[in-house]
Amino acid sequence: MRRIALILGLMLLAVPAAHAVQPDEILPNPALEQRARAISGGLRCLVCQNQSIDDSDAPLARDLRLLVRERLVAGDDDKAVVDFVVARYGDFVLLRPPFNAHTLLLWGAPFVILLLAVAFLWRRARQRMVETAAPNALSAEEKARLAALLGPEDKSSG
Amino acid sequence: MIVEIGHYALALALGVSVIQAVVPFWGVFRQDRTLASVGSSAALVSFGLVALSFAALVASYVRSDFSVANVVANSHSAQPLIYKFTSVWGNHEGSMLLWVLILTLFGALVALSRHSLPPRLRAGALAAQGLVAVAFLAFTLLTSNPFQRLAPVPAEGQDLNPILQDLGLAIHPPLLYIGYVGFSITYAFAVAALIDGRIDAMWARAVRPWTLLAWTFLTLGIAMGSYWAYYELGWGGWWFWDPVENASFMPWLAGTALIHSTVVMEKRDALKVWTILLAILTFSLSLLGTFIVRSGVLTSVHSFATDPARGLFILFILIFFVGGSLALFAWRAPLLRQGGLFAPVSRESALVVNNVFLATACATVFVGTLYPLLLEMLTGDKISVGAPFYNATFVPVMVPLLLLLPIGQSLAWKRGDLLGAAQRNAMAFGLAVLAALALLFFMRGGPVMAPLAVGLGVFLVLGAGFDLGERIVTRASGWRAMLSRARGLPRSAWGTALAHAGIGLSIIGIAAQAWSSEAIAVLKPGERLTSGRYTIVLEGMSPRTGPNFRAEVARFQLFSGDRELTLVEASKRVYTARAMPTTEAGIRTDGLSQAYVSLGEAQDGGVAVRLYDKPLILLIWIGSLVMAFGGGLSLTDRRFRLAAPKRAAPVAAAQPAE
């Protein structure tokens, strides 16, 4: 399903069937190129569906890849490059959403859910322990039935 | 004529489904057995009608009947027959018809199943399932009718999207839908149990085969989709954490939890309320997935159709079934009595831990998928949630689960011995650590996490193997005794071990991708390119003509080191009807690894070429197949032969205990 979707996405963009990083984009300096690839992997192709610019064929992704390399060649460090791109396109461009007031719930969710589940289980286990302390305790109704079955002489012990 | 018959049959199926949804409920309330059993016949008839309708659409496609709008939009007379056939579900309307076909097929299977179901439960489940069928049949007929005629009749169709003209389309959607829709049965049983107000181990035993069946197909469907993306998209990616992908992954995670919780319920009569809730949630996630894919809210450029009316209709269906069942749950669940007690250290507790982690993992994917939508609605902020987020949240939730898996698997029911279970796994753990250390040593300078992940995979595989081995091998008994013991093990034990080993294999495959490599260059004939262990030499390029496309094919000699492996062809196609280009990667399997070649643009008298070395990548999908095979094997366990005829039952029971 997703692949169908992705394909359709690619199709609608009507891009030429090329893929991602083109040979002419590659920087001569392998260390810089490697940093460029790493940075590109975390930046979203703005016109694609959850694809990084490193994976995307879209012309805009190519422009961004070139931009990243330009900044690297100009001597920016990785953070400066990302900040530069974010300043232009906003947080939307980051595939790893920043941690701030608006994403607190997003980042916190897995851990909060896990904590809640553990707390719930712990409470349940304790309840169970209290219940099982008197394992065969009968309900009032059951006691009454038992008493009726056993006859009047057992009423006192019921 | 055929088209009208199909249309009419579909409308008739809607009517029959209304009967299936209403009459059995009434029968249950009136304590009328005859009325209650109407559900079975209605389910069968409804399936027959939808099958007829589906056959009519298939016939229109195969005969290229261009008077049908749907056929025109998605088919071409020059298509190979297989793609004419698969084009049926390569579009919104047709895939909804497939959805409904599978839905009614499951209803029919429940009606036919000779499993000793309590009649009230069967009636209730069929009615609930009928209600789902009513909703989706109405949706298909009202908003997505595949039988719309067209006048004037065009001479030629617009062809199917070229990227879908692939064997993958023949296999992937049907598998995925059987998985998605299969969970409607567990949902229906949960609703029936809530209405009945009674639930016991019998319920779990009735539901488990359906859950296993749906899970097995969903596993296959997701794995197939992933492999298809890998070879078709031309850049070697295989999982993208895309919303549409997550849409199928969430029911899988919840379904996996459900399989495990029904085991506890079946064996120990515990976790009942949770299991019911999980059954409801799993199908709700399937519905959510359908909504996400079909409405296009999250993937506006992605879905087949972004018609707001359709989105709204499915949203309404979603709210009705999720909200309705959850309300029913809130109302009736307190009536269900909790069963079997167990100690904090026991197989039951281990499975509870499994459920906690799987539910958390599922919730993480859920939040990650829907958060951007909600945030944008509430604050206008646009954010992206991509792979780095899931790597930072989903993975840390899954790792402890998988680390604990072999230990939980060797704990006893009711009260287990943690130390003993740990000892039993010490050997597997030790070997896994050795494997990780060896990798760290030999692959010095490489990624650090990957060897640890490989170690985890090895631990899972060995843990599963040793667990089986322990039950088969005992001291002072010959191989003959072991063989008979192996044969005597229930198939579900083999299934469990295989499924767990399968996860291990997949994890090894995933981890090994940290060592994959990629090279990009412009090649002219005779020039070479090396990536990792593989080298290619471009031999030449030549044009080729297919039935409905033209291709430019590049031939490469592939070497592994100095050893010549084979000739690899990668090509670029242009499909004539839509004038749309696609890339066909050249893939050569070398053991479990693959060399992957794909073509880019022609430039400077050469052509842009990418070569990947993908070490052990096949393990990702082999692991998934092993998982699915494990699920299938459990399904054939003697306890619940699905839909086995009643007459066969005494024979099976009469077999000597092996």
Which of A75, A98, A121 is a domain's end point?
A98
Tell me if chain A has a CB within 8 Å of the CB of B379.
yes
- Closest Cα in chain B to A102: B375
pLDDT of residue A131: 65
Q: Could you tell me which chain A residue has the CA closest to the CA of B237?
A: A55
A71 plus A120 within the same structural domain: no
Number of domains in chain A: 2
The whole-angstrom separation of Cα B637 and Cα B631 is: 10
- Residue B538 has phi, psi (to 5 degrees) of -75, 120
CB distance from A22 to chain B under 8 Å? yes
Which of A52, A68, A98 is the last residue before a domain boundary? A98
Picking from B316, B295, B290, B292, the residue whose alpha carbon sits closest to that of residue B306 is: B295
Burial of B543-573, coded b for 16+ CB within 10 Å and e otherwise, reads eeeeebbebbbbbbebbbeeeebeebbbbbb
Task: Check if B377 contacts A (Cβ < 8 Å).
Answer: no
pLDDT at residue A10 tops 50:
no
CB contact under 8 Å between B388 and A118, yes or no, is no
Query: Cβ(B53)–Cβ(B9) under 8 Å?
Result: yes
Most confident range (mean pLDDT) of A118-132, B352-366, B628-642 is B352-366
Query: Is the same domain home to A94 and A123?
Result: no
ipTM of the complex: 0.82
pLDDT of B103 strictly over 90 = yes
Residues 588-607 of B with CB under 8 A from A: 598, 600-601, 603
Chain segment A66-91, per-residue pLDDT in tens = 999 999 999 899 999 999 999 999 89
Chain B residues whose CB is inside 8 A of the A96 CB are 386, 388-389, 392
Average pLDDT for residues A46-54, to the nearest whole number? 80
CATH number at residue A54: 1.10.8.640
Residues within 8 A of A (CB atoms), B 34-93 only: 90
In angstroms, the separation between the Cα of residue B117 and the nearest Cα of chain A is 31
Q: Which of residues 607-626 of B touch A (CB under 8 A)?
A: 608, 610
Question: Is the Cα dihedral B126, B128, B134, B136 positive or negative?
Answer: negative
Give the pLDDT confidence score for residue B162 in this predicted structure: 82
How far A19 CA lies from chain B's nearest CA (Å)?
6
Task: Report CB contact under 8 Å: A4, B600.
Answer: no
Chain A CB contacts of B522 under 8 Å are: 23-24
* Among A23, A44, A125, beta carbon nearest to B384: A44
- For residue A24, list chain B residues with Cβ-Cβ distance below 8 A: 522, 603
Which residue, B498, B475, B473, is CA-closest to B486? B473
Q: CB under 8 Å to A147, separation ≥6 — which residues? A: A154, A155, A158
Q: What are the φ/ψ torsions at residue B198 (nearest 5 degrees)?
A: -135, 140
Of B240, B361, B396, the CB nearest to A50: B240
- One domain, residues A110 and A137: yes
Q: Are residue A74 and residue A121 in the same domain, yes or no?
A: no
Q: Determine the Cα–Cα distance for residues B614 and B588; give it in Å rounded to an integer.
A: 10
Nearest Cβ partner for A50 among B229, B243, B581: B243
| 8 Å CB contact of B244 and A5 | yes
Task: Compare CB distances from B583 to A17, A24, A121 and report the shortest one's residue.
Answer: A17
What predicted TM-score, i.e. pTM, was given to this entire model?
0.89
pLDDT in tens, B255-293: 999 999 999 998 888 888 999 999 999 999 999 988 888
Assess A44–B contact: CB distance below 8 Å, yes or no.
yes
pLDDT of residue B113: 84
CB B24 within 8 A of CB B127: yes
Give the A:B interface size as CB pairs under 8 Å.
Answer: 189
Tens-digit pLDDT profile for residues A115-141: 999 999 888 878 777 766 555 556 777
For tokens 């712990």, the residue is A122
* Radius of gyration of chain B measured on its C-alpha atoms: 27
* Domain co-membership, A106 together with A92: no
CA B131 – CA B191 distance, rounded (Å): 11
CB contact, 8 Å: A86 with chain B?
no
Written as six digits, the tokens of B436 are 């990780």
Q: Which of the pair, B23 or B299, is modelled with greater confidence?
A: B23
- For residue range B121-168, list pLDDT tens digits in order: 899 999 999 999 999 999 999 998 999 998 888 988 888 888 788 888
- Which residue reads 């619940």 in tokens? B640
Cβ contacts of A123 on chain B, cutoff 8 Å? none
- Looking at the structure, tell me whether residues A85 and A137 fall in a common domain: no
- Give which of B388, B538, B522, B460 is closest to A38, Cα–Cα: B388
Residues in chain B closer than 8 A to A5 (CB atoms): 242, 244, 293, 299, 302-303
Q: Is B356's CB within 8 Å of A52's CB?
A: no
* Residue that is last in its domain, among A78, A98, A118: A98
Instruction: Give the CB-side neighbour count of residue B268, counting CA atoms within 13 A.
Output: 21
Which of B164, B388, B397 shows the shortest C-beta gap to A95?
B388
Position B580 pLDDT exceeds 70? yes
* pLDDT per position as a tens digit, B161-187: 887 888 888 899 899 999 999 999 999
Is B163's CB within 8 Å of A11's CB?
yes
Do A86 and A60 fall within a single domain?
yes
B357 min Cα distance to partner chain A (Å): 7
DSSP state of B534: E
Q: How far apart are CA B234 and CA A19, in angstroms?
A: 7
Average pLDDT over residues B405-415: 89
A16 inside 8 A of chain B by CB: yes
* CA-based nearest distance A74→chain B, Å: 24
pLDDT at residue B300, as a whole number = 41
Q: Tell me which residue in B344, B357, B521 faces A23 most closely, judged by beta carbons.
A: B521
Neighbours of A52 (CB within 10 A): 26
Model confidence band, residue B397 (pLDDT cutoffs 50, 70, 90):
very high
Give per-residue burial for B316-337: e unless 16+ CB within 10 Å, then b: ebbeebbeebeebbeebbeebe
Which residue from B minimizes the CA distance to A126?
Answer: B344
Q: Within this chain, do residues A13 and A72 fall inside the same structural domain, yes or no?
A: yes
Please state, in angstroms and rounded to a whole number, the distance separating the CA atoms of residues B529 and B515. 18
Q: Give CA–CA dist B95/B247, Å, rounded.
A: 16
Together in a domain, A89 and A111: no
List, for residues B537-568, the tens digit of each pLDDT value.
999 999 999 888 999 999 999 999 888 888 99
B241 Ramachandran zone, left/alpha/beta (phi>0; psi -120 to 50): left
Q: How sure is the predictor about A19, in pLDDT bands with cuts at 50, 70 and 90? A: low
- Same domain? A86 vs A15: yes
| Percent of chain B with pLDDT strictly greater than 70 | 94
Report percent pLDDT > 70 for chain A. 77
Instruction: Give the model confidence (pLDDT) of B444-470 as tens digits.
Output: 767 888 999 999 999 999 999 998 988
- Residues 6+ away with beta carbon under 8 Å from A57: A10, A13, A15, A16, A17, A18, A19, A20
How many Å is the Cα radius of gyration of chain A?
Answer: 32
pLDDT band for position B329 (50/70/90)? very high
- Check whether B244 has a pLDDT greater than 90: no
Domain that holds residue A50: 2-98
Nearest-Cα distance to chain B for A148, in Å, is 25
Q: Quick one: A94 and A107 in the same domain? A: no
Does one domain contain both A65 and A127?
no
**Three-class SS state of B526:** coil
